[in-house]
Amino acid sequence: MGTTNVKQKRKETRAVRKDVEARREQAFLSLPQRRTECDQTVFRICKGVKAFSFCKRKNLPLTGGMDRIIPGWNPYLPGKPTGMLKSHTAPVIYIHVSAEDNKIFSMSTDNTIKVWDLETDSCLFTASSKASGIKGEFAACLYLPHSRALCVAADTAVLPHLRLRSGSPPEPYLVVSHQEPVVCCRYNPAFWQVVNCSEASVVKVWDFETGRLLSGFTGAHGNAGITCLTFDISGRRLITGGRDGCLKIWSYSNGHCLHTLQHDEKENEVCDCTYLEMNQHKYIIAVGWDKRINVYFDAPRDFHRFWKPQPHWQDDLNHGHKEDILCAAQCPPFLLATSSYDGEVIIWNVISGHMYCKLNTSSPSDGAEDRKSPNRSVSCLAFLETRAAKFESVAASLIANRPRGSVTFWRLFGGACSIANFTPSRDKAQVSSIAVTAGDALAYVADWKGFVHIYDIKEYGLQGPELQSPKSVTFWRAHVSVVTSLELIEKNFLLSSSLDCTVCLWSRGGEYIGTFGQHSPWDIFTPTSWSHPRVPYEILTDPQSMPAYPVLEGNVAAMHTEVEEQDNVAEEKAKPEKTPNPCSPEDPILEAEMKEDIDRWCAFRNGRLPLDQNQPSRRTCELGWPSIYQTLRCHEVACVSAVGEKPDLSIIGSDLLNLNFLAQEKEGREAAQEEH
């Protein structure tokens, strides 16, 4: 290949004018140009290289050697591999990348052949020397793409064939995005990408439009896990915080660490971080187990590898948190909210560094169990930005979770106090994540059981204290474990991650689009390509995904929201007891509903029925109709054959037309005998 250095090209352009004939002869003979020192990348690999392969489609070099590891490299960053294939037990001596089959073939000195997936870096197949028939010392190896065979020359020549299934492989029952629990995920609007991190310090980058894996890197914080992440204003840099007590700024497209942010104290876990721009200055704010607010000045022109935080605010030192800080949320232009393990919430003025107000989460109205509970932590905060920006003195401006699964709306201006409190979950599951739409119209609340609740808060808490919970729009189960993060994307989609190792994408109303990592991609602009009406397999089979107990008992309609169910239960208690009058099976309305149940059940068996409870139903809610899961009906089976009558087996193999004629002739003779 020709030179890629700009200065070298300019020199060659000037040289062309001086020696045109020599250049023409060089071009005619197609002689290669000498590469300069600045045009090459040198990879220094421990224990040397015994095998090498290059994937032109993905621009991915692969090496293998005595360390039994196959690392993948970025051609422009030789310092650290982008991924490693670890499974061989002997030195690797052959590597081949088949871009057409999306496979990687490797062979080691013990004559073991392995097939890897180029997208996921997972080992698909292992053939030992005994199974493949390769004996003796390895001499040479060559992959034949047309016959999909690997020709291995040892004592004998062996051609193991790669047999592929016809058509696309079936989707596995359990689809996971990571091999470890996912602790956080964020959407990058600049590149339409989704970035998430796991407890094993693995970072993965996904395409938002299709759900395909684009890139990733491991060991972001060494052996320490990642706890939080965010982006800068431009979206070109990724900022992660870990259990090792430091923040790292990445060029996440290639996995290169640009800066490390850490204070001089001992390693205290970073629990949350946020990026804000104020007065044309940019800051990174981190909170964690050191009980302090660490502010780092973001200077892109500072080429030092390690950055130190700014001096702590005086109010933070004198009147700040006394326990570990778990969460931080910002509200432009200058408000910052932090919450700690002891339930304390503090609102800060970022410009001056002064404490604006302190919220007392333990009120006299709390029960004895709430006051004595050892876990009083507040781990979720969300500003209602349109209200906070107007400094409304009556309306609620902040949402926070509380112990025993409750959610509190706080008024910040005109006397900070709690003006509303409700519990979304039936069994008081702790709220783990909160997201609010633009304009503060809807609030998405997720809990430890994996449920996501949507509430209409457009008019909620605007005129002062509220005695009732906000209107419940819908709810569904998104995961089978703790939901670690929620984020609204482009006003129409919801991104969720969980400790069940999955990252899922949903529509704004809860329609299941897909799980990042599934084999079949989706088109975000084509709803027919979404997984809806199906749901994730683990949710369908989990016992806690069953309807609530009042539905099973038949007291409440299966399609009701929680508010409607509570109202119906109250109405039933207020009504006098009456003798039940069940409908007869001949009722035409009941027959129509039975037919609908049967049709929906058949559609469900064929995989076409939505499993969410958000579908509109034409049944009247007051009748309390049971759903298709609880409808059982008994039918009498008619006796069509005489008991003990032995069947006639002599007709087997005979002509049916002759049998019918003989049977009619026999009946005629019997009738004549009876008349006689």
**92-149: per-residue pLDDT in tens?**
999 999 887 888 999 999 888 898 888 878 888 888 877 777 888 888 888 888 777 8
Span 6-59, pLDDT tens digits: 666 677 666 656 666 665 555 555 556 666 666 778 888 888 899 999 988 888
- Give the pLDDT band (50/70/90) at residue 638: low
- Give CB contacts under 8 A, 24+ apart, made by 63-72: 63/95, 64/88, 64/91, 64/92, 64/93, 64/94, 64/95, 64/106, 65/91, 65/92, 66/91, 67/91, 68/92, 68/108, 70/95, 70/104, 70/106, 70/116, 71/45, 72/121
d(CA 363, CA 351): 31
Rounded to an integer, what distance in angstroms lies between the CA atom of residue 638 and that of residue 140?
75
Helix (H) or strand (E) holding 400: strand 398-402
From the CA atom positions of the chain, what is the Rg in Å?
A: 34
Three-class SS state of 674: helix
User: Over the stretch 77-107, which tens digit does the pLDDT of each residue have?
Assistant: 887 888 889 989 999 999 999 887 888 999 9
The model's pLDDT over 194-227, given as tens digits with 9 standing for 90+, comes to 999 999 999 999 999 999 998 888 889 988 999 9
Q: Answer yes or no: are the C-beta atoms of 249 and 257 closer than 8 Å.
A: yes
Tokens 């990408």 — which residue?
Answer: 193
Angle 20-29/6-18 helices, nearest 10 degrees? 120
Where in 128-237 does DSSP place strands (E)? 140-144, 149-153, 157-158, 182-188, 193-198, 203-207, 213-217, 226-231
Which DSSP letter does residue 573 get? H
**Do residues 350 and 328 make contact, with C-beta atoms less than 8 angstroms apart?**
no
Q: 495 pLDDT band (50/70/90 cuts)?
A: very high
Residues in the chain, total = 676
Q: Is the pLDDT at 65 greater than 50, yes or no?
A: yes
Q: Which of 184, 215, 198, 211 is nearest to 515 (CA)?
A: 211
User: In a 3-state reduction of DSSP, which class is residue 246?
Assistant: coil
Helix (H) or strand (E) holding 306: strand 306-307
pLDDT of 325 > 90? The answer is: yes
Helix (H, G, I), strand (E, B) or coil at 627: coil
The model scores a pTM over 0.85: no
CB proximity list for 305: less than 8 A, separation 6 or greater: 259, 260
Cβ–Cβ < 8 Å for 297, 326: no
